[in-house]
């Protein structure tokens, strides 16, 4: 009987935002969901259709008796209120993890932003502008031999495109070995050869970075690589060629596919690396792992670091678990002229420190933010990755109710401005890196959340950049992201109009020209020449700082009205 009553209480006590969004509510005031989502928690005590009013009142009386006393409530105060029991360590750890998972995900941040602006008309949880979107053509595409999809000359041109635009940032494919296989592959028109997995991946990425619209050959290459990879992933110790092919597939999916598809592929890649022992130094491999012959140690580190980096951020974006390789020893890949892989993957250790299961406080997050913003980066893909990391840390700081200093906020806004310019530059060069779409959209959401004169002054640049990316690549994913950005801005505008209307109403009721009280006081106010100057200054100034006015020792002196 008690269990049945408990189920009734759990289902019937729910605040209005939780009922509207169909979320589980713990019946407290404010409830846990409202606290985490940063929107107003309130209960409709007058409705009897879907809840028991007595249970709601009892719940609110139990949670915060001090609030009833301050409000002068006529409810009877319990004679012996039960002291609040401290949360056990395990529960506190779980709450901390949950508090970190959401801010790591840009999708959760967008949803919470919509809920904060308008709980009733907020957006459904979804990952927006995660990449440029799926490249489609009508019809079906099947796995074919690469020699039947493109010619040797086309393969050579696509390989040059790959090594010119992609490999400088994710250089885990050996250039000399690749071109050596290209020179000999079309002399043997057989159905399949093992290195075709790599050639298909290189060619597909070359198509992506050379053509704004997908061609049939690109989609045949993608399907051929997928079929070959799935058929040959059953070996107990995966060879290097197979892992390289999977890394190329993950690269392509991260730039075009849905987040779920890319996450599954990145997890498969991580499991294959674990099975191969590629992440372990040769001296630390156990006897069940045969050493991979003729592997360059720098290529090995690049492959492993790339796989970790992609899996980490895809998992963060989807608020899912990432694959952890035990025993991995991270060493920054070597730097070469014209190669920026080390600079890109240098973000991996800091990214991994944002794992929700790693306790990080506000001071540590602020230190991370300072360190990453002090890093000077010039290459557009690297700047976008840097900005993406900064936006994630900023979301984490907001989740623990920590604010940035004006200097740090100014640096973050400068980085956003730089990243937006880099996104447009990459679009002009037909380099559809994932953050070309993701960073402008997340920048829009961040600027709306900051909601200051400085942030809103950058909003038009962010929207223009997202629109430019959308117009160039013209995919449904980007069109939906652009519409969503417009919806968020409209919700923010309506909220501000509502707030402005309330202020106007209050001013008109108490201080308007027709108000008797105001008429009686007007002579004394008009006698103050400085007050008239103050009103003129405030009415024409957009930079009046109310925060400084309220914390000043002598506010009137701060306004130049010290008598």
Count of other CB atoms within 10 angstroms of residue 484 = 20
- Answer whether 65's CB lies under 8 Å from 283's CB: no
Buried b (16+ CB within 10 A) or exposed e, 191-230: ebbebbbbbbbbbbbbbbbbeeebeebbbbbbbbbbbbbe
Spatial CA neighbour of 161 closest among 217, 203, 224 = 203
Spatial CA neighbour of 425 closest among 484, 468, 458, 393 = 468
Spatial CA neighbour of 443 closest among 424, 468, 417, 467 = 417
Tell whether 415 and 327 lie within a shared domain: no
The Cα 50–Cα 486 span in angstroms is 35
Tell whether 202 and 331 lie within a shared domain: yes
The Cα 136–Cα 444 span in angstroms is 28
Count of other CB atoms within 10 angstroms of residue 267 = 19
- Answer whether 166's CB lies under 8 Å from 205's CB: yes
Tokens of 451: 């909601």
Helix (H, G, I), strand (E, B), or coil: what is residue 112?
helix
Section 288-301 average pLDDT: 74
DSSP letter, residue 146: G
Tell whether 333 and 368 lie within a shared domain: no
Residue 514 resides in a domain: no
DSSP 36-71: HHT------TT--SSS-HHHHHHHHHHH-HHHHHHT
More reliable by pLDDT, 235 or 227: 227
Give the global pTM: 0.72
Residue 452 resides in a domain: yes
State the virtual CA torsion across 551, 555, 557, 562 in degrees, nearest 10.
Answer: -150
Position 305 confidence tier, pLDDT thresholds 50, 70, 90: very high
Q: Which helix (H) or strand (E) holds 134?
A: none
pLDDT digits 0-9 by tens, 392-434: 999 999 988 899 999 999 999 999 999 999 999 999 999 999 9
Strand partners, 339: 336
For the chain, the first-to-last Cα distance in angstroms comes to: 72
Q: Which helix (H) or strand (E) holds 239?
A: none
End residue of a domain, out of 485, 503, 521: 503
Spatial CA neighbour of 120 closest among 499, 489, 491, 493 = 491
- Supply the pLDDT for residue 515: 63
More reliable by pLDDT, 430 or 144: 430
Is the pLDDT reported for residue 262 higher than 50?
yes
Tokens of 282: 């040769």
Is the pLDDT reported for residue 84 higher than 60?
no
- Supply the pLDDT for residue 3: 46
Q: CA quadruple 297, 299, 301, 303: dihedral positive or negative?
A: negative
Section 356-366 average pLDDT: 89
Position 540 confidence tier, pLDDT thresholds 50, 70, 90: low
User: 349 CB contacts (<8 Å, ≥6 apart)?
Assistant: 330
Tell whether 315 and 416 lie within a shared domain: no
Spatial CA neighbour of 122 closest among 34, 13, 30, 42 = 34
The Cα 96–Cα 280 span in angstroms is 32
- Domains identified in the chain, total number: 3
The Cα 140–Cα 144 span in angstroms is 13
Tell whether 47 and 12 lie within a shared domain: yes
Residue 266 resides in a domain: yes
Residue 34 resides in a domain: yes
Is the pLDDT reported for residue 117 higher than 70?
no
More reliable by pLDDT, 139 or 74: 139
Is the pLDDT reported for residue 283 higher than 70?
no
Is the pLDDT reported for residue 134 higher than 70?
no
Tell whether 176 and 296 lie within a shared domain: yes
More reliable by pLDDT, 100 or 347: 347
Position 553 confidence tier, pLDDT thresholds 50, 70, 90: low
Strand partners, 336: 339
Helix (H, G, I), strand (E, B), or coil: what is residue 211?
coil
pLDDT digits 0-9 by tens, 10-39: 445 688 778 777 677 887 777 877 777 666
Residue 509 resides in a domain: no
Residue 187 resides in a domain: yes
What's the alpha-carbon Rg for the chain, to the nearest Å?
29
Section 250-276 average pLDDT: 94
End residue of a domain, out of 486, 503, 520: 503
DSSP letter, residue 148: G
Tokens of 127: 């990952």
Q: To the nearest whole number, what is the mean pLDDT of the chain?
A: 79
Tokens of 516: 């008797």
Section 519-540 average pLDDT: 53
Tell whether 159 and 296 lie within a shared domain: yes
End residue of a domain, out of 23, 39, 67: 67
Count of other CB atoms within 10 angstroms of residue 394 = 23
Tell whether 334 and 210 lie within a shared domain: yes
Residue with tokens 């300072």: 370
Tell whether 380 and 325 lie within a shared domain: no
- Supply the pLDDT for residue 163: 97
- Supply the pLDDT for residue 445: 92
- Supply the pLDDT for residue 285: 63
Tokens of 33: 């969901």
Is the pLDDT reported for residue 500 higher than 60?
yes
Overall residue count recorded for the chain in this entry: 563
Residue 529 resides in a domain: no
- Answer whether 12's CB lies under 8 Å from 25's CB: no
The Cα 187–Cα 185 span in angstroms is 5
CATH code of the domain containing 6: 4.10.240
- Supply the pLDDT for residue 121: 58
Residue 393 resides in a domain: yes
- Supply the pLDDT for residue 209: 97
Is the pLDDT reported for residue 82 higher than 70?
no
Q: Long-range CB contacts (< 8 A, 24+ apart) of 61-69?
A: 63/28, 63/29, 64/29
Tell whether 456 and 310 lie within a shared domain: no
Section 317-335 average pLDDT: 84
The Cα 217–Cα 245 span in angstroms is 18
The Cα 181–Cα 162 span in angstroms is 15
What is the domain range of residue 261?
136-284+291-344
Tell whether 374 and 466 lie within a shared domain: yes
Tell whether 270 and 369 lie within a shared domain: no
Q: Percent of the chain, pLDDT > 90?
A: 47
Position 457 confidence tier, pLDDT thresholds 50, 70, 90: very high
């Amino acid at each position: 009987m008690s269990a049945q009553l408990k189920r009734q209480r759990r289902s019937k006590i729910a605040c209005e935002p939780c009922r509207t969004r169909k979320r589980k509510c713990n019946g407290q005031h404010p409830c846990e969901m409202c606290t985490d989502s940063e929107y107003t928690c309130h209960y409709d005590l007058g409705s009897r259709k879907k809840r028991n009013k007595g249970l709601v009142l009892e719940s609110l009386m139990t949670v915060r008796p001090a609030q009833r006393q301050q409000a002068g409530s006529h409810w009877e105060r319990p004679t012996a209120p039960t002291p609040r029991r401290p949360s056990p360590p395990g529960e506190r750890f779980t709450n901390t993890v949950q508090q970190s998972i959401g801010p790591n995900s840009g999708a959760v941040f967008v949803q919470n932003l919509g809920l904060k602006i308008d709980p009733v008309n907020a957006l459904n949880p979804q990952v927006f502008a995660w990449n440029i979107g799926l490249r489609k053509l009508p019809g079906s595409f099947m796995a074919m031999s690469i020699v039947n999809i493109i010619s040797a000359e086309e393969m050579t041109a696509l390989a040059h495109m790959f090594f010119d635009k992609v490999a400088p940032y994710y250089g885990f494919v050996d250039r000399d070995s690749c071109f050596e296989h290209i020179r000999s592959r079309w002399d043997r028109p057989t159905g399949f050869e093992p290195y075709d997995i790599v050639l298909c991946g290189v060619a597909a990425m070359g198509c992506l970075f050379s053509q704004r619209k997908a061609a049939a050959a690109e989609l045949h290459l993608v399907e051929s690589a997928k079929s070959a990879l799935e058929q040959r992933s059953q070996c107990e110790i995966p060879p290097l060629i197979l892992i390289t092919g999977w890394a190329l597939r993950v690269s392509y999916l991260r730039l075009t596919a849905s987040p779920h598809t890319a996450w599954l592929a990145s997890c498969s890649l991580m499991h294959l690396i674990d099975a191969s022992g590629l992440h372990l130094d040769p001296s630390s491999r156990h006897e069940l792992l045969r050493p991979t012959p003729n592997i360059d140690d720098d290529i090995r580190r690049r492959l492993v670091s790339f796989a970790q980096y992609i899996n980490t951020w895809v998992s963060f974006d989807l608020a899912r678990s990432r694959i952890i390789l035990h025993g991995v020893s991270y060493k920054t890949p070597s730097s070469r002229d014209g190669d920026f892989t080390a600079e890109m993957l240098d973000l991996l250790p800091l990214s991994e420190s944002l794992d929700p299961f790693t306790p990080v406080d506000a001071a540590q997050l602020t230190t991370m933010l300072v360190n990453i913003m002090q890093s000077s980066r010039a290459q557009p893909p690297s700047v976008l990755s840097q900005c993406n990391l900064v936006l994630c840390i900023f979301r984490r700081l907001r989740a623990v109710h920590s604010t940035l200093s004006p200097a740090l906020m100014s640096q973050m806004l400068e980085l956003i401005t730089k990243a937006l310019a880099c996104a447009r530059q990459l679009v002009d060069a037909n380099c559809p890196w994932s953050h070309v779409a993701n960073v402008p959209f997340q920048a829009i959401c961040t600027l709306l959340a900051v909601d200051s004169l400085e942030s809103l002054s950058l909003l038009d640049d962010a929207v223009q950049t997202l629109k430019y990316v959308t117009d160039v690549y013209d995919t449904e994913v980007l069109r939906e992201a652009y519409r969503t950005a417009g919806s968020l801005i409209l919700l923010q505008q309506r909220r501000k109009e509502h707030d402005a209307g309330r202020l106007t109403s209050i001013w008109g009721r108490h201080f308007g020209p027709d108000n008797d009280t105001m008429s009686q006081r007007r002579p004394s106010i008009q006698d103050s020449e400085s007050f008239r100057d103050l009103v003129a200054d405030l009415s024409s100034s957009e930079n009046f700082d109310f925060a400084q006015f309220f914390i000043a020792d002598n506010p009137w002196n701060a306004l130049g009205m010290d008598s």
